[in-house]
Amino acid sequence: MRADEDDSAQRIPSSARDLYSPSQRSFEPQAALPGGPHQNPRGTGGDADDDSHSHPVLMQNLKQRLQYSDPFFRDMVVDLYARTHYLRQDNTNPTRQQAWAGGGAVSLRTGFYRDFLQFEIVGATSQPLYAPSGEGGTLLLTEQQAEVSALSVANARMRFLGQELTTGRQLLKTPYVNPYDTRMIPNTVEGVVLTRQRDKSSWLDYGGGYLWGFKARDSSYFVSFSNELGIHEDRGMLFGGIKLKPVDGLTIGGFSYLIPDILNTAFAEADWLLPTIIHEVDFRLSVNYTNQQSVGSRLMRGGDFSASQISARAAASYANATGYVAISSNGKSDDLVNPFGSFPAYTNMDQMHFNEAGQTAIVGGISYDFSELVADGLKFAVLYGNAYGIIDPATGAPRSDQRELDIKLEYLPKSGPFADTHLMFIYSDVQFPENRPGERRQQQFHGALTYLLPTL
């Protein structure tokens, strides 16, 4: 049960209002480590700025001396993140993926000079603390268990005519290109992005641009979008999207991503948080659709490529308890692809994305927020998913069904001495009942601790 898979400090929802909607949160400003903790991405030029001066910071005296300076310096924000993450996965074959990493990020974002120009820079690193040889693939480090370090964000943002134009390395939040900050370092992109100036009261939001570089979570380097798909020719990505909020609680979004001569991905979603009729009772209905097609010279896998998916979810919550059921159904031509972020289907789980050809997946989950009973910010969730009808797109041969159990525990207090701390534990168990004996189970455990030190 995802509050958000990629851009929210909160991973377990407290109510149906917190559940993940890819369109609803698209184009929102991102903190240096979107996986938190953070109350607001300070200094982004949006609503978060209204209280950015109220946060206590390490260099409080300097902050106070700057309060009468030019907004470029007065609104400057510096944050220091420390993070450690351990992951172990026992595969269906006698292999293992395991690593323990430590690191974090340092971010600096200036204020706007004459309400026009802002700069942002983030350096991030993930260092091996325990990384057995031959057990790579956790995405905490490189495949060879080496460190990951990069100047992941470095951009200039210009504000004019109600628009914002960001040029350079940046964190982008959309359904199919997003930070996916569930390991040590998020995905980042390099390009030019135009968005509407942040205004949460607006019924209309949009964005688009051209991206020429992509840096994955387990890499220190930017490559072209085509290279990330395993294609040698260099191609960037053109993208655009729009989201509408015609009435309170309803979000409608549409997005398109084009990698010339390779792939076009189209995505649409309608997400409706129904009006509250009974106190503390919320209902939410959501549906989205994805279509992927090869285009132009059809370099994608050497020829025609076609994949599709429809996904739907119904959720309800009362007081501190939330439950939902979701279903997804995929076309039979090809597996869906997306190395640029998380999959936006509501059935996405910790290990399995349920993106394979012919696959139908049903997922149910419950969660509870123990803030009032045990400790502020303590939450627990259990999810179970069953997928069937999977085929090999090349031969049409059937593949094993898939079943996954996820158990999640999260601690994210809103106040007190640990308010800038985020602790997350996830255990997942995947079953492949039609596999050969000894190859039917894949277990994974990972835990992460992140601490934010607001510095300036």
Q: Do the beta carbons of residue 146 and residue 128 sit within 8 Å?
A: yes
Gap between the Cα atoms of 4 and 2, Å rounded:
5
**402 has a pLDDT exceeding 90:** yes
Residue whose C-alpha is closest to residue 345's, from 5, 93, 50: 5
Q: What is the pLDDT of residue 415?
A: 87
Average pLDDT, the chain: 93
CATH 3.40.1410.10 fits 16-454, yes or no: no
Q: What is the pLDDT of residue 35?
A: 85
Gap between the Cα atoms of 217 and 171, Å rounded:
12
Q: What is the pLDDT of residue 1?
A: 58
Q: Using pLDDT thresholds of 50, 70 and 90, give the confidence band for residue 368.
A: very high
Q: Using pLDDT thresholds of 50, 70 and 90, give the confidence band for residue 265.
A: very high
Q: What is the pLDDT of residue 312?
A: 98
Q: Using pLDDT thresholds of 50, 70 and 90, give the confidence band for residue 178.
A: very high
Q: Using pLDDT thresholds of 50, 70 and 90, give the confidence band for residue 36.
A: confident
Q: Using pLDDT thresholds of 50, 70 and 90, give the confidence band for residue 277.
A: confident
**354 has a pLDDT exceeding 60:** yes
Q: What is the pLDDT of residue 37?
A: 84
Element (H, E) at 41: none
What SS3 state is found at 234?
A: coil
DSSP string for 154-172:
EEEEEEETTEEEEEEEE--
**55 has a pLDDT exceeding 90:** no
Residue with tokens 């949009």: 206
Gap between the Cα atoms of 75 and 115, Å rounded:
11
What SS3 state is found at 47?
A: helix
Q: Using pLDDT thresholds of 50, 70 and 90, give the confidence band for residue 446.
A: very high
DSSP string for 306-370:
EEEEEEEEEEEEETTEEEEEEEEEE-SS-----TTS----TT--SS----STT-EEEEEEEEEE-
Gap between the Cα atoms of 287 and 251, Å rounded:
11
Domain residue spans of the chain: 16-454
- Number of helices (H), then strands (E), belonging to the chain: the values are 3, 18
**5 has a pLDDT exceeding 90:** no
Please give the angle made by the CA atoms of 128, 411 and 449, to the nearest 5 degrees.
10
- Quick: pLDDT tens for 198-242: 776 689 999 999 999 999 999 999 999 999 999 999 999 999 999
Residue with tokens 């934010």: 452
Residue whose C-alpha is closest to residue 279's, from 317, 336, 239, 250: 317
Instruction: For residues 338-351, give the mean pLDDT.
Output: 95
Q: What is the pLDDT of residue 41?
A: 57
In the chain, the amino acid numbered 86 is Y
Residue 218 DSSP code: T
Q: Which residues pair with 189 in a beta bridge?
A: 170, 214
Q: Using pLDDT thresholds of 50, 70 and 90, give the confidence band for residue 47.
A: very low
- Quick: pLDDT tens for 99-135: 999 999 999 999 999 999 999 999 999 999 999 999 9
Q: What is the pLDDT of residue 48?
A: 41
**4 has a pLDDT exceeding 80:** no
**52 has a pLDDT exceeding 80:** no
DSSP string for 395-408:
T--B---EEEEEEE
Gap between the Cα atoms of 252 and 269, Å rounded:
6
Residue whose C-alpha is closest to residue 225's, from 339, 138, 114: 339
Q: What is the pLDDT of residue 49?
A: 47
